[in-house]
Chains A and B, each alone.
Chain A
Amino acid sequence: MTRELWEGNQAFAEAAVRAGLKAFFGYPITPQTEALEYMSSRMPELGRVFLQAESELGAINMVYGAACAGVRVMTSTSSPGTSLMMEGLSYIAGTEVPMVLVDVVRGGPGLGNIAPSQGDYNQMVHGGGHGDYHPIVLAPASVQETVDTVYGIFDIVEKYNTIGVVMIDGTIGQMMEAVEMPPMMDLRKDYPDWAVTGGFGKDRKVLTSIYLDPLDMEKANYRLMKTWQEIERNEVRFKEYFMDDAKIAVIGFGSAGRVALSSVRVARAKGLPVGLMRPVSLSPFPYKAIRQIAEQVDSILVVEMNSGMMLEDVLKEAKGRTNVEFYGRMGGVMPFPDEITSEINRILKSKTDSDVHPRDSWLERMASIVQ
């Protein structure tokens, strides 16, 4: 199949189109605006629905409506817009209708900047809106992987009637790479039997996230949790590189993981026993795999483009089992491979005191970098 150069944002938009996307509602926000602009011509070209909403609030609620009508629908945004969408995401989750969100993460908090970051980890993986539920969060690390992930996520969210988030950083959104596009799927012609399509009396359907009686709400919460358990059993994904005989494991997702891979290759070329584990599903998180790694290696180095958010999930399984270190860049700064190589060399020589939280020892080392 042909490979063409695609910019990340446009590539994931096209991937969704090929997955039979019926409707896209979005709003401009850097660094994902190219997706909105691409959709604004591509969707009408195919006779599908495109609308630029009045805000991210408008967009997520338009998605909510279309999802209730039983069609494949998505939106994309960046960190401040994701914050605005939280209420809508919670409603969609509570109503148990499927939808897809692509979050192209930028520096924050607040308005922050438009540089790439991984600072939405907590808000998406441990949040996604108020209440007792968990979204599926996948973190690809290249334009091709993003295309494949977006193409495949619609089937997944429809299987579980849940929310699927593809979380990339601004780099992946903006960069151009060679991509093989998947085949064009037909648009679905029928509607799921739970969708609102127009019906009277006993044929009518009501889609709501209200359960006024706490006991009814608890039943709904229980159902969401049982679905979540099924997702945990089936949807964990990660990639491992050079892990078989590794004594140091670098753990990073998305672009951080990709940069770390360069460092790991350099280390291996020198004969150092270093490997990389790159979680692709952040939610459900690959806890079992982390535990196995912790039992195998002498040290884990978590690398992120944030202040250590996935670090906490790694620590849940690794603390007490192995030495855990952290290296992060914040504010939209991307780490370079040589920074991670320095970290690997440092860890080979000495370990952090196990009473000190890896974030604290990292902040000590960061003092000379940020000041």
Chain B
Amino acid sequence: MPLKGIITVDENLCKACELCVEACPQHVIALDMDIITPRGFHPAHLAEDGCTGCGICALVCPEAAITVYREKKTA
């Protein structure tokens, strides 16, 4: 069972390039069409359950806008 993860996306930095959307192996990232950032972008966000905290989204993000968290391993 993969560990669960969460990402937070800094809306001041995200430019909605969608590289994270494409790269996410779990396909759980999408642009949030309900929000427009002060810079005029729909920021990326975790749209569904299933994030494993793999960090691939942060790896491809040109803005270093993504912080990735993962459950601590127990035992």
A–B contact (CB under 8 angstroms):
no
Please give the residue numbers on chain A whose beta carbons come within 8 Å of chain B beta carbons, in ascending order.
Answer: none
